[in-house]
Each structure stands twice: as structure tokens, then as C-alpha cells.
Chains A and B, each alone.
Chain A
Amino acid sequence: MTALLEIRDLTVCRDNRQVLEINALSVEKGEVLAIIGPNGTGKSSLLLTLARLLQPEKGDLRWDGMPLSALNPLDYRRRIALVLQEPLLLDASVFENIAIGLRYRGLPSDEIRERVNKWLARVGIESLSKRPGARLSGGEAQRVSLARAFVLNPELLLLDEPFSALDAPTRLRLLDDLKSILNETNTTTVLITHDLKEAARLASRVAVMLQGKIVQIGSPQEVFANPASADIAAFLGL
């Protein structure tokens, strides 16, 4: 596998406090990398840094071997898609919510209609197309949020705890659907979660993050079977 994104010696500060210190991390093409760790450990800061929405103090970030700084931030952000914990839907129809990223890219309306309709069907919400975004259940809204990201055909998908606000049955159904979409599209994905089951179900590799540092990386089986330290074992509940 080749790396889509490589990170070396990354330091990120927020409000004059260092929140991230990562020596080395790479995201391989086509993989689902889960970043797991307790709340407040800097996982979301890492995701925002990867989305170039948070400026690092220092660090060498490479996209497909090229320094990330050589890419125009907007061009870069148009190659990725971000899904946050809250769907944050616009006060517009479901269709328009899914179309927004395509409209930002100035695509012709025929193509927008075709792509949005395809993803409305793929995530199982065709019947909601005209419904206002504000009148959806939590699960429906998160489906819209996923469709809104996948419709962009992103080279890198960044997911920040997308299911943590949902009830258990809804979460399980969405997890299964997301897994099959990821298998089908082979989208390179970074998933932030504190839910170990979610990580085990979706990810091909897991990186454990404690206090702003990546402390172990491996397949879910490896990490869960052989935690590298007592702290990691404690977080994993072993």
C-alpha cells in the first residue's frame, strides 16, 4: 500500500496549550484508519488538522508524497469530505443539503441531480428528498450527512464520531450501511471514535491516542490482543 497522507513531527496548539504531538502517522490509500482514545485527548484536533481547518505549530504533512503546504487550501479541501458528530444540516431540503458541496464546486445542475439522487438511494432516504433538513430524526439526519460527504467522491473521508449521538439500534444499522459503502467505494477514511466496537467493525487499522500522542498502531486484533502499555490496556478495558 502507498500512503495518501503522511505526518511527521506534528505539533498543534489550541488556546496556547499543546494538544497534539505526533511523531509519525500515515494514512494508506483505501484503508479505514480509526483513531481511538478517550474524550479530550486531541482526536478532533487531529481531524481538523488533517482537514486543514486547524493550523499546526509545526510538522511535515505530505499528500501523495507532496508537501501539503504546496497545495492550495481550498483545492485540498475540495479533495476531502468532513462528517462531524452533529449533522449540522442547513435550513433547506434534504436534496439541497446533499447537493451543497457539489454546488460549491460549480458542477452543472444535471450532474448534481444525478449524483444526489444516486446517493439518496444508496443511503436509503429517497423518500425524504424534499423534506426540510430540520424535520428529520437523528439517524435520518446522519444519513444525509454521510450522503453529503460521499456524493463528493472524496479522496479522503474524515469522520468525527459520526454515530455517537445516536441510539444503539440506529447506530448499528448505520454502521453496517457505512461498512458496505466503504467496501464498495474503497474510500480512504480516517474515523475518530471512542467506541472500540465501532473501530473494530469498520477499521483496517487502529491508532490509539492518549494525551495528544499516538501510542500504538496496528490492526484491531493486534491492538486489542497486545496493548503496548498499561495505560492502553486500561483504556481498552482489559
Chain B
Amino acid sequence: MMELFNSLFSDPEVLEVTLLSLKVSGIATLISLVIGLPLGTLLALAKFPGRSFMLSIINTGMALPPVVVGLAVAMTLWRSGLLGDLRLIYTPAAIIIAQTIIAAPVVTGLTAAALQQLDPRLQLQLLGLGASTPQMVLTLWREARLPLLAALMAGFGSVISEVGASMMVGGNIKGQTRVLTTAIVLETNKGEFERAIILGALLLTITFLINYALTWIQQRGAKQR
């Protein structure tokens, strides 16, 4: 077993698959942050008609089944699909699109929740001390920095371990779109359980590190109160 473990780590394919997983999920999480932070802030702080409806859509989106997202993205990017001309199906870009759709509601919903936990009178207080609206929002983000970081990590956690969408829109092509989760499915299907177990352990280590960091952040936040 130890021998296999060593050979796996010296196996360039394992390294390649791991790096692609981190890259694809990292980019999808960053795009989700760019979308989710302003949108979640708007939903938490602004009052406009349809706000509750939008919040419930986002909350539903937080539990989107990855295979359903995979189906929708595959149909859109398929050669005969709406964006078929872009020829993105079975590319890392397709996986990034699908993972962004999965992670963005998570980041948005948790951002809104993080800001709604702050005392609503704090906004009045900051404005009453001469903050412009952008300065007020920056101060609120700073106040909610720990739960916002948790939102980001939860977004990453939701896509790094996702398999359905990556398989459907990425196609698990060796050297191109094979990521940790799809590689595990393939090895299992081939009966290469040891290899699958080690890839699984690698994925588990990554998700453990994320959750460990999340817990540490939350504990630090709790201690400060």
C-alpha cells in the first residue's frame, strides 16, 4: 500500500489531476465571490420589491443538485446548444462555468446571512459618522470578515468535491478535464480500488483542510465575542 502511495505521488498524472482540480474550483470560487459578494450585500442591505423572492431563489440555489446544473450547462454548451458555437463543452472552462453556477448561490446566500447578522443600527451609526455608502459597505464587510471568509470557503468546498457536473460538462478527458472526483469515479469503475482510495484520501485531505480552517475561523470569531 505504502509503495502504491509513493508511486502515486511520483505519478505526474496524480499531480496534474490535483492541480487541475484546485485550479478549476479556485477560479470558479473567485468568480462566485465577484458575483456573490456584491449581490449578497445588496440582498442584505437594500430594500426593494422582490427582495424576499430573490433571497428564496438564492437559498434554493444553495442546494442545487450538481447533476442538474451539469445537465443545463451541457445542453447549453452542446454543439447544437445556445452557446454551442463557443466550443466549450469538454473543456476546463465548461467545468468552471458549471461550478460557478453551483458556488455562486452559496457565496451569495452566506454573504447575505453574514451581513444580516450585524446590528442594523450599525449602518445608521456609520452614516451618522460621515461614511459614504461605499465606505459603510467596506466597514460592514470588515465587521463580517470571518463569516464572509467562511462563505468563500464553503463555496470552494461545494465545488471541489462535486462530481456530477464536472463529469457531464468536462467529460473526464485524460490530461485535459480529468479532476480528482472524476478520476475517482473512473478508477472505481475499472476496479482499481487502491488507486481510487488514494485519490479519495487526497480529496478528503483537501476538504478536511478547508473545514479545519473554517472551524478555526468560527472558533476565533466565537472567542472574540
Contact = CB atoms under 8 A, between A and B. Distances in A.
Interface of A: 48, 51, 53, 74, 77-78, 80-82, 84, 86, 88, 90-92, 100-101, 104-105, 132, 134, 148-149, 152, 158
A84 B130 contact: no
Nearest to B128: A82
Contact of A134 (B121, B130, B225): B225
B13 interface: no
B125 A152 contact: no
B121 A86 contact: yes
B224 A132 contact: yes
Contacts of B143: 90-91
A25 B206 CA distance: 65
A84 B128 CA distance: 9
Nearest to B122: A88
A145 B122 CA distance: 12
B132 interface: yes
Contacts, number: 59
27 contacts: A48-B124, A51-B124, A53-B128, A74-B130, A77-B128, A77-B130, A80-B128, A81-B128, A82-B129, A84-B125, A84-B128, A86-B121, A88-B125, A90-B139, A90-B142, A91-B142, A100-B126, A100-B129, A100-B131, A100-B139, A101-B129, A104-B130, A104-B131, A104-B132, A132-B224, A148-B129, A152-B130
Given A81-B128, A81-B129, 20 more contacts: A48-B124, A53-B124, A74-B130, A74-B132, A78-B130, A82-B124, A82-B129, A84-B124, A84-B125, A84-B128, A86-B121, A88-B125, A90-B142, A100-B129, A101-B131, A104-B135, A132-B224, A134-B225, A148-B129, A152-B130
Contacts of B139: 90, 100
A26 B157 CA distance: 58
Interface string B136-157: 0001001100000000000000
B213 interface: no
Contacts of B130: 74, 77-78, 81, 101, 104-105, 152
Contacts of A77: 127-128, 130
A82 B132 contact: no
Contact of A152 (B124, B126, B127, B129): B129
Contacts of A134: 224-225
The 5 closest A-B pairs by CB, nearest first: A82-B128, A101-B129, A78-B130, A88-B125, A104-B130
B3 interface: no
A149 B125 contact: no
